[in-house]
């Protein structure tokens, strides 16, 4: 099992939605898999945070988003859209950096499973006495036949398989074993 990240070019580089209402709407659509937006209207404009340059974004094949939505380059999507279509739907978006925009794709993860190992992961107790998983996070899965999975309960977590990790070779995507 692996996680994917943007190759580090500067500390704390993040892609943002242009408003809080956009963040919530796209959280519902991409993370919760609620059809709150007709497919034909999913084409958001996102904003590159401080530390990015236009040339850096052109070279990257994966971007870190403020909410846990994978953002892939056109090059990656062109090569793997058909292969991944049962597990990952791609929707076009634009990344705005200063006065320019770059085309990318947001990924909607279709498959989910209980991937967060709650027994081994850290936890944080809330004021109401309930607890949430916290660092360090440990992952598990009962199946091996997948490319990408989102956790059923703690939806901000997703992992990729060795098959997906192999697809990332030759692309500017950081892959870490978990």
The confidence score (pLDDT) of residue 131 equals: 80
User: What pLDDT does 37 receive?
Assistant: 73
Predicted model pTM:
0.90
- Going residue by residue through the chain, which has 178 residues, state the pLDDT in tens, using 9 for 90 and above: 999 999 877 667 999 998 888 888 889 999 998 887 766 667 789 999 988 999 999 999 999 999 999 999 999 999 999 999 999 999 999 999 999 999 999 999 999 999 888 787 777 888 998 888 877 787 888 777 899 999 999 999 999 999 999 999 999 999 999 9
The dihedral over CA atoms of 50, 62, 45, 90, expressed in degrees to the nearest 10, equals -170
pLDDT score at 90:
96
Burial of 169 (0-12, 13-18, 19+ CB in 10 A): exposed
pLDDT recorded at residue 11: 67
């Amino acid at each position: 099992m692996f996680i994917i990240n943007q190759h580090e070019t500067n500390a704390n580089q993040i892609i943002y939605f242009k408003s809080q209402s956009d963040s919530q709407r796209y959280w519902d659509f991409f993370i919760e898999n609620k059809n709150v937006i007709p497919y034909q209207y999913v084409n958001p404009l996102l904003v590159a945070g401080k530390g990015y340059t236009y040339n850096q974004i052109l070279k990257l094949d994966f971007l870190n988003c403020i909410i846990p939505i994978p953002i892939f380059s056109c090059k990656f999507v062109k090569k793997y859209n058909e292969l991944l279509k049962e597990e990952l739907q791609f929707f076009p978006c634009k990344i705005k950096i200063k006065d320019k925009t770059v085309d990318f794709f947001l990924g909607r993860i279709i498959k989910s499973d209980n991937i967060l190992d709650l027994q081994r992961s850290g936890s944080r107790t809330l004021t109401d006495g309930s607890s949430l998983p916290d660092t360090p996070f440990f992952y598990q899965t009962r199946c091996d036949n997948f490319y990408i999975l989102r956790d059923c309960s703690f939806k901000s977590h997703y992992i990729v398989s060795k098959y997906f990790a192999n697809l990332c070779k030759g692309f500017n995507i950081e892959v870490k074993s978990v």
